[in-house]
Amino acid sequence: MSVCDGGHCVTCSDEAVSMTVLRVDARRGLALCTDRSGVRSTVEIALVEPVTAGDELLVHAGTAIAAAAKAPRQ
Amino acid sequence: MKFVDEFRDAELGRVVAGEILAAVEPGRHYKFMEVCGGHTHSIYKYGIDDLLPANVELVHGPGCPVCVIPMGRVDDGIALAHQDGVIFTCFGDMMRVPGSDGSLLDAKAAGADVRMVYSPLDALRIAKQNPDRQVVFFAIGFETTAPSTALTLKRARAERVANFSCMCSHVTIVPPLRALLESPDLRLDGFIGPGHVSTIVGARPFEFIPADYGKPVVIAGFEPLDILHAISMILRQLATGRCEVENQYTRVVPYEGNLRALEVMAEVFELRPHFEWRGLGFISHSGLKLSDAYADLDAEQRFAVPGLRVADPKACQCGEVLKGVIKPWECKVFGTACTPERPIGTCMVSSEGACAAYYNFGRFAREREVV
């Protein structure tokens, strides 16, 4: 089957994964995010800024393409 | 999580399937095309075909940006990968696409430094970690992925990563749809629109389909309920005589698209006059290249590539599958000479290709039907 992780390719399937923001580096336009299995990755956030920790993003090929939910405000 | 669990509810799925059954006209045969490879994958994975009445047929469209890369372009990538000192990076499925003499995976086995990445940011990181090597990123994908490449190229410039370049093979969704709609041998009643492409371009670019061709379009999400709901919405349009673009995926897709993404794409890319699509031939203004402002990051200008056009293999019927004219199992070499392990055509290479999706998921349902 496909070489890709999970048996399908992120590009071909146009897959976007729901991820939660852990930490934001606003100066560099990046965020450290985690998916539902706990895997962490650095995500480009230029298309959905501003984001804060706790926000839920839809991430495709390492870039957030939409914001799903904002973290509850204190 | 808000995108997933609620949209996989089996009970709700049965309710929507019931709505579909109530909406179809007896004796009428419906053909809907799902444009996006991700929809094809979901349809097979969740058995959505099984929930539909027999007179509602789903046709797989050209929504796989890997599937449509022609052999000559793969050969160009392999030529680059073999150049001294080059680290060639690409997404996973691209590594298995057959060129005229093997794939990028074969080139890797023969000693080329080909590395799989999950994002262009990974490729940029490899470039920073290997300052004495040239790192090339083979950029593929529709408008969903192109902004990611564009942002990474801007980042490479801002951070002065001189050993990074991009071989751009991004494609755009509207021209091949128009080419398909112009095919005399294609008969469709409606479209399930690409959900994630639309987060970038919005719903507006698809308005030409109802306006010029009289076919309804419903932009859909990727969970099983999304797809069933979209099919129900298309049927309701047909039943009530409406013909328009509707957005089923409103939780994610804005009508106007993502303006920042469109701006960065306009800055970094320009349209090629034409681009060859496997099985569909040359289509005008359907591929992207780096703009003059980013020419210094263009791998095709930094390195020599063959740039030769290679004809599709004679046995390959990918073009007819991509146009929805034949089903995967109607291809002469499906499952025999052409399998996921030894693909002839790119419809079998990518898991989202119509043939691979059917081979891996759909054929068991068909065997049940025959019995």
Same domain for B93 and B156, yes or no, is yes
Tens-place pLDDT, residues A7-59: 455 565 677 889 999 999 999 999 999 998 999 999 999 999 999 999 999 99
- Is B295 a residue whose pLDDT tops 90? yes
Planar angle of CA B325, B35, A17, nearest 5 degrees: 145
Residue B267, pLDDT score: 98
How many helices (H) and strands (E) are present in chain A, helices listed first? 0, 5
Measured between CB atoms, does A15 come within 8 Å of chain B? yes
Closest CA to A20 of A46, A53, A50: A53
Structural domain span for residue B104 = 71-173+258-302
Q: Does residue B48 lie within any of the structural domains?
A: yes
Residue B332 has what pLDDT? 93
At B154, the pLDDT band (50, 70, 90 cuts) reads: very high
Domain assignment present for residue B312? The answer is no
Q: In chain B, whose CA is at the least distance from the CA of A9?
A: B93
Work out whether the CA dihedral B62, B67, B72, B76 comes out positive or negative.
Answer: positive
Where does residue B62 rank: exposed (0-12), middle (13-18), buried (19+ CB within 10 A)?
A: buried
pLDDT number for residue B4: 62
CATH of the domain at B242: 3.40.50.11750
Distances (CA, A) of B180 to A3, B43, B191, B233, B283: 30, 21, 12, 22, 11
In a domain, B215, yes or no: yes
Q: Is residue B200 part of a domain?
A: yes
The more confidently predicted of residues B190 and B97 is: B190
CATH code of B131's domain: 3.40.50.11740
Whether B46 is in a domain gets the answer yes
B109 within a domain of the structure (yes/no):
yes
pLDDT for residue B46: 85
**pLDDT band with cut points at 50, 70 and 90 for residue B221:** very high
Residue B133 and residue B268 in one domain: yes
- B217: β partners: B191, B245
Complex prediction ipTM: 0.86
Interval B116-144 mean pLDDT: 96
> B226-284 pLDDT, tens per residue?
999 999 999 999 999 999 999 999 988 999 999 999 999 999 999 999 998 877 778 89
Which residues span the domain enclosing A29? Answer: 16-69
So what's the pLDDT on residue B309?
78
Residue B307 domain-assigned (yes or no): no
Cβ-contact B148, A60 below 8 angstroms: yes
- Report how far residue B371's alpha carbon sits from residue B366's, in angstroms, rounded to the nearest whole number: 9
pLDDT above 60 (res B135): yes
B244 touches chain A (CB under 8 A): no
Task: Give dist(CA A69, CA B311) in Å, integer.
Answer: 48
Asked if the structure places residue B231 within a domain, the reply is yes
* Closest residue by Cα to residue A19 from A58, A45, A63, A53: A58
Interface check for A39 against chain B (CB to CB < 8 A): the answer is no
- pLDDT reported for residue B85: 95
Same domain, B153 and B139: yes
Domain count, chain A: 1
Is residue A4 in some structural domain?
Answer: no
Please check whether residues B152 and B218 belong to one and the same domain.
no
Q: Residues B136, B35: one domain? A: no
- The reply to whether B16 and B37 lie within a common domain is yes
* Residues A1, B360 contacting (CB under 8 angstroms): yes
Chain B CB contacts of A58 under 8 Å are: 3, 196, 199, 252
Residue A6 lies in a domain: no
CATH code of A39's domain:
2.30.30.140
Structural domains of chain B, count: 3
**C-alpha distance from A43 to closest chain B C-alpha (Å):** 8
Task: Note whether B283 and B338 are same-domain residues.
Answer: no
A34 touches chain B (CB under 8 A): no
Lowest-confidence pick of B138-152, B212-226, B278-292? B278-292
Mean pLDDT of B302-310: 84
